[in-house]
Amino acid sequence: MEQVSGQKRTAHQFLYPPVDAYDQRMIETGDGHRIYVEQCGSPEGIPVVVVHGGPGGGCSPAMRRYFDPAAYRVILFDQRGCGRSRPHASVENNTTWHLVADMERIREELGVDRWIVFGGSWGATLSLVYAITHPERAAYLALRGVFLMTPRELGWFYGGGAGQFWPDVWDRFVRLIPEEERGDLIAAYHRRLFSGDTMVEIRYARAWAAWENALASIQSQGLQHDSPADYARAFSRLENHYFINGGFLGSPDWILENAARIADVPGTIVQGRYDMICPPQSAWALSRAWARAELKLVPNAGHALSEPGISAELVRITNALRRERARLGL
């Protein structure tokens, strides 16, 4: 573990001080959802939209701190069904394409022409789908812990690949499912997360969330704890809903097949070398398919946004982009 002045490094050493939102609002989608949106930093700053992970994770105040508040207009939102968006844990009218449309609705309501798109994990997936769909609106992509929504990636995490490194943690995740259903754990958990029995849904939601959370950070890999019931239920139901439907992309390799559409969009991929949730192969493949991508492999780092090396690299990127406003057309 690296040391700084005799202390273990933490992400907070690299982040800007906490900042309050100057604008908070709910945006009606017109199809039954209300999306929570907030803005912080400078109203005249460089617009950047922060795309949280999950699906179903929600945004947090810590995500505001990756940007100089004097230089950036930081826009955060909770995707459909999670965080402060309503209805909570709902999967009705909730697909990747609904979320892409929500991002455009937010951009238009806030009067933003083009923006930097900043997302990690599932947030990187959604950022890429958004940019491929609206390349003229994405001035720059800052991505972390790339996930391409492929069967190979889902098989790694829910088919036993990661479980080979964490057999004890994997056993706790698998043992809740009868042996005859273990050939497709996503489907097995789906039946229980959508059983209609709230207590059953919460039990399996906590197990689903605990498996992922235990492997998120290299500093705490293997540790498990129960998430609050409301959070776990929304997170697990939404994530499972997206995974069992292949992200609603229609093709297993949709992002790589369409990467040419962002050939003129610059960006950086920040990837933990020891990411157990989204192994580096996907980031590597994306960097080969995306002409203007720069790949930064961070040693001694796992998946989480809060990894010190990942936080340091992301802040370095946002600091460097402050000088690029004119060139990026922002």
Which pLDDT score is estimated for 175? 97
d(CA 237, CA 248): 15
Residue 313 corresponds to which tokens in the numbers above? 């690299």
pLDDT at res. 72: 98
Active site residue 275: yes
The answer to whether residues 88 and 13 belong to one domain is yes
Q: Are residues 221 and 124 in the same domain?
A: no
Domain count, the chain: 2
In this structure, the answer to whether residues 217 and 102 fall within a common structural domain is no
Please say which residue of 211, 226, 247 terminates a domain.
Answer: 247
- Per the omega criterion (within 30 degrees of 0), is the bond before 43 cis? no
Catalytic-labelled residue, pool 121, 217, 227, 287: 121
Range of the domain at 60: 3-150+248-328
Which of 213, 247, 281 is the last residue before a domain boundary? 247
First-to-last alpha carbon distance for the chain, in angstroms, is: 39
φ, ψ of residue 21 in degrees (nearest 5): -75, 140
134 classed as catalytic: no
Residues 126 and 197 in one domain: no
Q: Is the domain of 66 the same as that of 79? A: yes
Indicate if 63 and 79 belong to the same structural domain.
yes
- Can 121 be counted among the known catalytic residues? yes
pLDDT of residue 3: 34
Q: Are 111 and 142 found together in one domain? A: yes
Choosing from 52, 275, 287, 311, the catalytic residue is 275
Provide the whole-model pTM.
0.95
What pLDDT sits at residue 1? 31
Q: Give residue 221's Cα distance to chain centre.
A: 19
What pLDDT, on a 0 to 100 scale, did the predictor assign at position 12?
75
CB burial of 295-308 (b: ≥16 within 10 Å; e: otherwise) equals bbbbeebbbbbbbb
Residues 22 and 53 in one domain: yes
Residue 117 exposure: Cα atoms within 13 Å on the Cβ side? 32
How many Cβ atoms from other residues are within 10 Å of residue 93's Cβ? 13
In this structure, the answer to whether residues 159 and 180 fall within a common structural domain is: yes
Residue 84: the pLDDT is 97
Give pLDDT tens digits along the chain (330 positions).
333 333 456 667 889 999 999 999 999 999 999 999 999 999 999 999 999 999 999 999 999 999 999 999 999 999 999 999 999 999 999 999 999 999 999 999 999 999 999 999 999 999 999 999 999 999 999 999 999 999 999 999 999 999 999 999 999 999 999 999 999 999 999 999 999 999 999 999 999 999 999 999 887 655 566 789 999 999 999 999 999 999 999 999 999 999 999 999 999 999 999 999 999 999 999 999 999 999 999 999 999 999 999 999 999 999 999 999 999 999
Please give the Cα distance from 122 to 42 (Å, whole number). 27
Q: What is the pLDDT of residue 91?
A: 97
Q: Which two tokens stand for residue 27?
A: 């945006």
Place of tokens 């720069």: 294
Tell whether 283 and 162 lie within a shared domain: no
Q: What is the pLDDT of residue 222?
A: 53
How far is 259 from 288, CA to CA, in rounded Å? Answer: 10
CA nearest to 270, candidates 240, 243, 301: 301
Q: Which of 247, 277, 300 is the last residue of a domain?
A: 247
Structure tokens at 144: 């972390």
Tell me, yes or no, whether 131 and 253 share the same domain: yes
The residue from 52, 190, 241, 303 that is catalytic is 303
If asked whether residues 225 and 288 sit together in one domain, one would say no
